[in-house]
Structure 1
């Protein structure tokens, strides 16, 4: 990303035009990737040793290890590294080794699958605790959402209810938590830390009270795994009881912290701010806008640094305006457009002011010939019109 952002706007003249823009990024990346590969051969073994060491600590420290596992599995979600926490425990010897039906299995998930299929197994092994990660998804976050609803401004509660109910249902039924977590992860990081710690504590509680229920995600998984196996083999009622307890823990802790620290969770935004669940991308854009960075592309591109009207503004005018442009694309040398009314195209303006070498019309399809610089022309036009990354 750094290389792309640094070199994407590089352009050359004459015969070297073809190597500008995105092509130059790939050229620069060749030595960069080679250098990174060399560095990685020395750096990654150290990182891998650290990951293995963390896994060993989690495995060997009993309930503290379970707490650490559950906490990190949630806490690392913003980085995507949470997969490095739970995957080794589900599929390698870190999650346990057991002999079932005369065969040796490694990993929590492999073990309990074998135990499910073996009628001789009366109770699932303790290793199933590594796949009880869904308790905070089914219960905890629902309590958090109730707290956010009750602490929302009175005038926003109807909107907040409409927003949170689908998120709660998704979390409870399918275990998809991102819409809820990302709503407070960045506006109130302390809540996300508390959520992560409570997730770890809930798994410790399940282990202490002898639950052997399988609960990787939401209620659907919980039903499909545990009800057919019965209470004796899974002790699934313990899972539900612990879940209800943590529902209330989440609720009271979130409510206390939101009101005590005046956290701007959903429905408590400043006046004039839209009430919604924000994704990570949307939150960053919102922060940039607040710093004066997130201005409209049209305002940025309407004039060049010299104060003259930009090429993109002239192209837009010559094509009949923004509303007349349906799609923008390019081939090797042509800017390819679909227009609502091709008759509005001002060919003379395109040729005189934007150095277009020709204009070709075929129904609503209009091609403007610019030569090898056309990728740059298209990029600047899309930025000007605010259509970056638009897909037909």
Structure 2
């Protein structure tokens, strides 16, 4: 139950970046479509969408706004995990996550630089100039990227989650750590960024040496995929989908799309390598009658146009009646974005983090099968969404899409019935099915005591109330001195003082009480604001106050 509880909490946390992905993908897709010169010409909109009218700038801005989320998606997942999985003081956890993420990749970057690897020395053209063949050049280049201006290994979402999960664990362990008075300034939440920075620097150094063989092992699968027919096609489709969960699918897709691993074709006297390059050359050629069949992508249409919309409908119908409106607002934009612009992550992540079984045991194998079915039935079309296929449909004689007309609705039905059955059978907490009673129970005092036994002594006072340690008693006394926690509008601390804003200043006790009974060194009052001086131990006191305020 503890593991399931953690997975459910993790799933809720991931809804934070997923919600941003949903709308960012729509902005990016729509903006990308109407800044593409081919699309604009095909729709005869050149007279409207151009620099003279300024309309194109609107779509450029829209595209840029959407790209922000995807460009920095690993960081957002890091912040989401750091913030959402922190038990308390989530803001400090998020700050620590950001610092840890930067330290992690900066250390990797420095080690790569020592090895002579920079953004300029890993480009495909540079590598080919050094004598590397085309396949190996793309294979090596696909290992790297630039994150927030830092040249590093391309770990994508995996890197973000890796840092975020470790940061949240560090934060939950040390956010209430109390140090001796001489070191008290660094107690509690202030020590977390320091520990995180140190640990992630070490892990960055370790990963700088471990990641290359990991990345290569994934790209080497391309050779197996190329040489094993339909089995290889299934493996490619399944792995492409499985690895998207951690953002590492590029390690097997890039070599297939842009190197000889995806095949070669002689078109109008020139040789093209890689499925994408071949597709584009075939579309541009006046002599090519048909598009590439073993393209490793056309079969995706089955789950993008059929399967995932079916899964979305199943999740909607399985939601509680009072939550269906909310679920609809989440799923409809995700489905529209996927069909129009091919961005599947919003709908996939929606069920990935609440039920990995649905993703890996149902969606992944069906994705592999869709690629096989597309290849077996001879489907040939460029693109897997309306935006991309539109260009292909301008030359309908080169396409072969008839099998999609019956396979797509079949996939819709398969996903719909499987998802609905499994969600209801195993009570999977897809969006709209969260158990509200369980959420409430997590905040009862008994559960709090079980999760935080150090706050309480193991004895009960004579009147049946829980006995507190001395630090807790002081914290409760301070709250009483401020007129009770209901009288507090805002409370925090600086280096030496509690800084409090109250609703009714008349409820605050006298300076004498502060000094004689509540251990204060001094008191400063300004209308409804009060500063209570405690010296270097104020950080420990603030930690105790936060604890007792939640009792």
Q: TM-score scaled to structure 2, two decimals?
A: 0.52
Conserved 8 A contact 2:279-2:291: yes
Matched with 1:276 is 432
CA offsets 1:213-236 (integer angstroms, 9 cap, x no match) = 4555xxxxx222222431334545
Q: Using a 3 Å threshold, how does the CA distance of structure 1 residues 33 and 301 change in structure 2: closer, same or farther?
A: closer
Offset, 1:48:
3.0
Matched with 2:335 is 172
Secondary structure, in 3 states, of the residue corresponding to 1:69? helix
C-alpha distance in 2, partners of 1:258/1:157?
12
User: RMSD over aligned Cα, in angstroms?
Assistant: 4.7
Offset, 1:202:
1.5
Matched with 1:320 is 483
Offset, 1:47:
2.0
Q: Using a 3 Å threshold, how does the CA distance of structure 1 residues 135 and 12 change in structure 2: closer, same or farther?
A: same
Matched with 1:270 is none
Matched with 2:364 is 196
Offset, 1:241:
4.0
Matched with 1:249 is 414
Structure 2: 5+ residue stretches without partners: 1-165, 339-343, 459-466
Secondary structure, in 3 states, of the residue corresponding to 2:447? coil
C-alpha distance in 2, partners of 1:188/1:248?
21
C-alpha distance in 2, partners of 1:103/1:40?
41
Offset, 1:103:
7.8
Kindly report which structure 2 residues correspond to 1:1-392, keeping only aligned pairs within 5 A, or say none: 1=166, 2-25=169-192, 28=195, 32=199, 35-36=202-203, 39-40=206-207, 42-76=209-243, 79-82=246-249, 84-86=251-253, 89=256, 94-95=261-262, 108-109=275-276, 112=279, 123-126=290-293, 128-130=295-297, 133=300, 135-147=302-314, 152=318, 158-159=321-322, 161-175=324-338, 176=344, 178=346, 182-183=350-351, 186=354, 189=357, 192-215=360-383, 222-230=385-393, 231-235=396-400, 238-239=403-404, 241-257=406-422, 262-265=425-428, 276=432, 295-296=447-448, 304-305=456-457, 307-308=467-468, 309-346=472-509, 348=511, 350-352=514-516, 354-385=518-549
Offset, 1:198:
1.1
Matched with 1:271 is none
CA offsets 1:39-74 (integer angstroms, 9 cap, x no match) = 445533432332232333234333322322332333
108-117 vs 248-257, which moves further: 108-117
CA offsets 1:61-108 (integer angstroms, 9 cap, x no match) = 333223223323333455554555545555666556667788877665
Conserved 8 A contact 1:74-1:196: yes
Secondary structure, in 3 states, of the residue corresponding to 2:234? helix
